[in-house]
Amino acid sequence: MKRVVFDTNIYISAFITPGGRGETAYQRAVDGSIKLYSSVPILTELARKLQDKFKWESDRVKAAVRHVAAVATVLKPSERISVVADEPDNRILECAVAGNADMVVTGDRHLLDLKTYEGIEIVTLAVFLERT
Beta-strand pair 35-39/73-75: parallel
Size of the chain in residues: 132
Which residue pairs from 24-30 have beta carbons closer than 8 angstroms and sit at least 24 positions apart in sequence?
24/129, 25/105, 25/125, 25/128, 25/129, 25/132, 26/71, 28/132, 29/4, 29/71, 29/72, 30/71
pTM above 0.95, yes or no: yes
Would you write out the chain's pLDDT as a tens digit for each of its 132 residues? 999 999 999 999 999 999 999 999 999 999 999 999 999 999 999 999 999 999 999 999 999 999 999 999 999 999 999 999 999 999 999 999 999 999 999 999 999 999 999 999 999 999 999 999
> Residue 60 maps to which CATH number?
3.40.50.1010
Domain range for 119 is: 3-131
Q: How many folded domains does the chain comprise?
A: 1
